[in-house]
Structure 1
C-alpha cells in the first residue's frame, strides 16, 4: 500500500474520531441545559401556582365582603320598606276609623233630617190649609171690591200699570234730560280746557305772505341791463320763470309779481345771480334760472327734512318730505302753508296726548293734511281728497289717510284722530292774525250770513257779530214757538255748514222774546 495513501486514511480516521468525540461532548452539554431548564420551569410553575392560590384567596375574601355588604344594604332596604308599609297600614287604619266616625255622624244626621222633614211636612200641610183659607178670603175681598168700584181686577190692574208707566216715563225723561245736560256741560268744559291748553302751548306767526316781491337794485342803471335790447332780456326772464317783472318809476327797485311764491323765489335768486355776474343775455338767463331751480329743489328737500326732524316724525317717504318742503313756498289766505301745517301738527300732538291717543300719529296727520295744495300736476280733485290719495300712494297709515281726506268732511271719518285734525285745522285758520281776507270778501260773507237767516219764516232780524263768528237771529214771538226756536237754530246751522265756506265755526243763537206793554194813565 502506498505510504501516502495510508497516511491519508489514518488522517481521515483521526478526523472522524474527533468529530464524533465533539458531538458526544455537545450532546452532553445540551442535556445538562435541558435539565436546568426543566428545573427552572418547575420552579416557575410552582411560584405561579402559589401566586394563583394567593389571588384566589384574596378574591374569595373580597367576594365575601361584597356579599356581606350587599346583604346588609338589602336587609336595610327591606327594613325601610317594612317600616313604610307599617306606617301606611297605620294611616289606612286611622282613615278607616275617621271614615267610620263620619259614617256614624251621617247616619245620625240622616235620622235627624228625617225627623225635621216629617216636622216640615206637618208645617207645610198647615200652611197649605191657611193659604187656601186666605185665597178664599182674597177672592171674596176682590168680589166685594169689584162690586164697590164697578171694575174687574184686570181693568184695575191695567189702569194701575198705565198710571205707573206714565209716571215712570215722565221721571225717566226728566232724568235723561238732566243726565244729557250734565254730560254736555262737562263735555263742553273738558273740550274747552283741552283746546285752550293746546292753543296756549303753541306759538304761531302772523300772516305776512303776499303776491309780490320787491327786488332792490344798487342803481337804476341795472334796470336797462335787465330789460335788454328791445326788451329781450326781460321777456326771457318772464318766459323762464313764469313771473311778471314790473319795471316802473320806483327808484332802485323791480317788482316781481306772481301768485306762486316758489316761482317768485326762483326769479328773485336768478336776478340776484345775474346782477352779481353782470352777464345778462337770454342764454345766460336760461342757464342761471335752471341752476337756481335745481338749487331750490335741494332747498325744498332740506326744508322738508328739517321740518320732519323738528317735529319728531320718522319713516316719511322722500316724496312726501319733498312735498312738505314745497309747502314753505305756498300760502292760503295770506297764511304760509308750511307754518300752518306745523302749527296744526303741534296742536294735534298736544290734543291727542291730552285725550290719551297716539300723539306721533296725530302729529303726522296734522303735518300732511294739506299736501294736496301743492301737487306736481293739476287735478280735478279737491286738495283734501288729492292729499289722501297721495298719502295712500306713498304707504301712509290708513288713519292718516282718512284724517287727510276727511278734514273738510269730503270723506267719512273712520278714526279718532280725524276730528282732531279737523278741529286743529280750524283752530289754526280761525285764530286772530292767522289769515288775511280782502275787506270786500269779509263784508260779503257777513251779509250772506244775515240774508241766509232772514230767508226763514218768522225771522224778524239777524245780526252777524264777533267778526262773523256768531249769528244772532231774533224771531217773532207770535209766529215761532220755543220748540220751533230749537229747530230753527239747528236748520240755520246746517244750512250755513253746507252752503257757505268759512274758517273756524259759527255759533247760531235764536232769540225769542214776548213783551206785553200797557200804559197806566
Structure 2
C-alpha cells in the first residue's frame, strides 16, 4: 500500500470519527433542551389552571348579579301591572255606578213622558170636541148670513174677490208708478247728462239735398248746342248717364233730375267739361262720361279713405271704404248719408267713452250702420238695409259686435252687445235734430192720427190730441167714469200701448187730464 492510499484511508477514518463524536455531543444537548421544555410546560399549565379558576369565579359572580337585577325588574313590572289592574277595577266600579244612576234617571223620564202623553191625549179629545162645536156654529152663522144677505157663500166670495182685485190692482199701479218715478230720479238724470254731454261735443251743419241739380250756363245759346241736331246730344247724355235733362225757359240754367246722386254728379261734371271744351257730339259725350265716371269712382275711394282716417278707424276692408265714400252721394229723408254716418260715429265714440266701453268699436259700428243704403248694384233688394249692411259687414270680416250693432239698430234682430243700443240711440239723436230730416206730410199726419186712435181705444176717454209734432199726447177723460187712481193707471197703460204698437222717434209724453165742471146760470 502506497502513501497516498494510506493518507486517504486515514482521512476517511478521521471524518468518520469526527462524525460519531458530533452525533454524541448533539444527543446530550437535545436531552437537556427537552428537560427544560418539560419544566416550562408544567409551569404554564399551572398558571393556566389558576387563571381559569379565577375566570370561573368571576363569571359565576356576574351571573349572580345579573340574576338579582332581572329579579328586581320583574318585581317592578308585577307591581305596575297590579297597580293598573286596581285602577281599571276602580274605573269599572265608577262606570257601573254611573250607569245605574242613568238607568234610574231614564226610568223617571219615561214615567214623566207617559204622563204627558196621557195629558196630551186628553187635551186633544177636548180640542176636537170644541172644534166640532165651532164648525157647527160657523155653519149656522153662514146659513144665517146667507138668509139675511140673500147671497150664497160662493157668490159672496166672488164679490169679495172682485173688490179685492180692484183694490190690489189700484195699489199695484200706484206702487209701480212710485217705483218708476224713484228710478227716473236717479237713472234719468245720469242718462240725460251723458246724452247732453255727447250732443254738446258734436256740432254739424245740416244740408238738405233734392233729386234735382241746377246746371248754370253762361248764356242760353249753349242750350241749343247741348240739345244738338234733332235732340241727339241730349239723348246721348241721358243714355250715357241715366239722368233726365230738363231744358225749359229758365234763363241760363238747365235742370238735371235723377234720384241717384252719383249719376247726377257724373252728368253735371260731364256737362261742365263738354261746355268748357265746346265740342259736343255723341262720341265726345261718351268719352267724357267714361272719364268722369272713372274720376268719380276714384273720388269715392278717396272720400272713404279720408273719412276713416279722420275718425281714426283702421283696418277697414276696401269694399267697405268704397261704400263709405258712396254715402256722400246718398241722402236719407233729405239728410246727407255720409254726414249722418260721421255724426253717428262721433256720437257713438263719445257715448261709449262716457259709459266705459271701447270707443273705437263704437265709432266703427256708427260709421257702418247705414252701409246697407248704398248698394253696389242698381238692382233693388227687398232686404232691410240694416240686415243687408250686417251681411256685408260679416262678408268683409267685421267683428261680431259691429255686425250686431248694424243689424239691430232698427230692432231687426236681437241686440247681444252694449254697443248695439248705443248705435241705435245715436242714430236717433242724429236724425232727430231740428231740420236734419224731412218727413213726408202724409206719413207724418198718419202717425199723429194713429197716436190719437190709440188713446180712443181705452174706455172713459173723451178727447185726445197729439201736440208738439207728435211728441206729446193729451187725453181728456170723463170725470164720472174715471177717478184719480184710474187716470194714473190709464196714463201708464196708454204709454205702454204706444211703446208696444207704434214706431216713432224720440219719446211720447202721455198726459191724462181729468176735471170736474159745475155750471149754473144766473138769471
Name the TM-score, length of structure 1 as normaliser.
0.65
1:505 aligned to 2:511? no
Larger radius of gyration: 2
**Closer/same/farther in 2, CA of residues 179 and 456 from structure 1, 3 Å limit:** closer
Q: Distance in 1 between matches of 2:390 and 2:326?
A: 17
Q: Distance in 2 between matches of 1:228 and 1:243?
A: 17
Q: Distance in 2 between matches of 1:145 and 1:180?
A: 51
* Alignment match, 2:226: 226
* Alignment match, 1:464: 466
* Alignment match, 2:70: none
1:300 aligned to 2:338? no
* Alignment match, 1:495: 501
Q: Distance in 1 between matches of 2:270 and 2:176?
A: 69
Q: Distance in 2 between matches of 1:241 and 1:360?
A: 39
- Which whole-Å deviations, capped at 9, do the CAs of 1:95-134 have from their partners, x for residues lacking one? xxxxxxxxxxxxxxxxxxxxxxxxxx9xxx9xxxxxxxxx
Please tell me whether the aligned partners of residues 349 and 359 of structure 1 are also in contact (alpha carbons under 8 angstroms).
Answer: yes
Paired residue secondary structure (1:412) = coil
* Alignment match, 2:245: 245
* Alignment match, 2:518: 517
Mean CA deviation greater in 194-203 or 453-462: 453-462
Paired residue secondary structure (2:198) = helix
Q: Distance in 2 between matches of 1:517 and 1:141?
A: 68
CA drift at 1:464: 1.5
- Which whole-Å deviations, capped at 9, do the CAs of 1:31-86 have from their partners, x for residues lacking one? xxxxxxxxxxxxxxxxxxxxxxxxxxxxxxxxxxxxxxxxxxxxxxxxxxxxxxxx
* Alignment match, 2:324: 324
Please tell me whether the aligned partners of residues 468 and 506 of structure 1 are also in contact (alpha carbons under 8 angstroms).
Answer: no
* Alignment match, 1:117: none
CA drift at 1:493: 3.2
CA drift at 1:176: 8.2
Mean CA deviation greater in 250-259 or 478-487: 478-487
Mean CA deviation greater in 201-210 or 281-290: 201-210
* Alignment match, 2:309: 309
Matching residue within 449, 452, 466 for 1:450: 452
CA drift at 1:352: 0.8
Please tell me whether the aligned partners of residues 214 and 254 of structure 2 are also in contact (alpha carbons under 8 angstroms).
Answer: yes
Paired residue secondary structure (2:474) = strand
Please tell me whether the aligned partners of residues 246 and 255 of structure 1 are also in contact (alpha carbons under 8 angstroms).
Answer: yes
Aligned length: 391
Please tell me whether the aligned partners of residues 463 and 476 of structure 2 are also in contact (alpha carbons under 8 angstroms).
Answer: yes
Q: Distance in 2 between matches of 1:212 and 1:203?
A: 27
* Alignment match, 1:338: 338
**Closer/same/farther in 2, CA of residues 364 and 250 from structure 1, 3 Å limit:** same
CA drift at 1:265: 0.5
* Alignment match, 2:258: 258
Please tell me whether the aligned partners of residues 369 and 386 of structure 2 are also in contact (alpha carbons under 8 angstroms).
Answer: yes
Please tell me whether the aligned partners of residues 476 and 512 of structure 1 are also in contact (alpha carbons under 8 angstroms).
Answer: no
- Which whole-Å deviations, capped at 9, do the CAs of 1:343-390 have from their partners, x for residues lacking one? 111111111111111111111111100000001133220111101111
Please tell me whether the aligned partners of residues 470 and 508 of structure 1 are also in contact (alpha carbons under 8 angstroms).
Answer: yes
* Alignment match, 2:388: 386
Please tell me whether the aligned partners of residues 328 and 337 of structure 1 are also in contact (alpha carbons under 8 angstroms).
Answer: yes
- Which whole-Å deviations, capped at 9, do the CAs of 1:439-480 have from their partners, x for residues lacking one? 455444434433443354433212121122222222334445
In structure 2, stretches of 5+ residues that fail to align are 1-101, 107-121, 135-167
Paired residue secondary structure (1:313) = coil
Q: Distance in 2 between matches of 1:477 and 1:485?
A: 14
CA drift at 1:518: 6.2
- Where do 1:97-496 residues align within 5 Å? 180-377=180-377, 378-480=380-482, 482=486, 483-496=489-502
Q: Distance in 2 between matches of 1:492 and 1:457?
A: 16
Q: Distance in 1 between matches of 2:218 and 2:177?
A: 74
Please tell me whether the aligned partners of residues 406 and 413 of structure 1 are also in contact (alpha carbons under 8 angstroms).
Answer: yes
